[in-house]
């Protein structure tokens, strides 16, 4: 799967991004990006659940990365 390029996350009917693959993986590892969250990149035909993207979600029991990326805009108060 092509993981390069810009990635987007759908929340509340709005697209958020663009994010890099590394940012997407960090969001997933931290639990910010959930299995059923819709994600999209140019190589995909449309938004798909994050769980359908190979290697995006961490394996069960995986440790989150030590350095947190910037918070996504939907998490800001």
Q: How far does the chain reach from its first CA to its final CA, in angstroms?
A: 35
pLDDT per position as a tens digit, 4-55: 889 999 999 999 999 999 999 999 999 999 999 999 999 999 999 999 999 9
3-state secondary structure of 28: helix
Give CA–CA dist 15/38, Å, rounded: 9
User: Domain-by-domain residue ranges, the chain?
Assistant: 1-57
The total number of residues shown for the chain amounts to 77
Decide if pLDDT at 58 tops 90: no
35: closest CA among 52, 18, 12? 52
38: closest CA among 20, 55, 24, 22? 24
Per CATH, the number for 1-57 is 3.30.1490
Decide if pLDDT at 71 tops 80: no
Q: Which residue has the higher pLDDT, 70 or 76?
A: 70
């Amino acid at each position: 799967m092509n993981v390069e390029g810009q990635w987007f996350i759908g929340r509340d009917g709005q697209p958020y991004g663009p994010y890099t693959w590394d940012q997407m993986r960090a969001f997933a590892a931290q639990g910010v990006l959930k299995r059923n969250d819709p994600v999209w990149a140019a190589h995909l035909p449309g938004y798909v659940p994050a769980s359908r993207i190979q290697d995006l979600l961490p394996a069960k029991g995986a440790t989150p990365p030590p350095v947190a990326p910037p918070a996504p805009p939907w998490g800001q108060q």
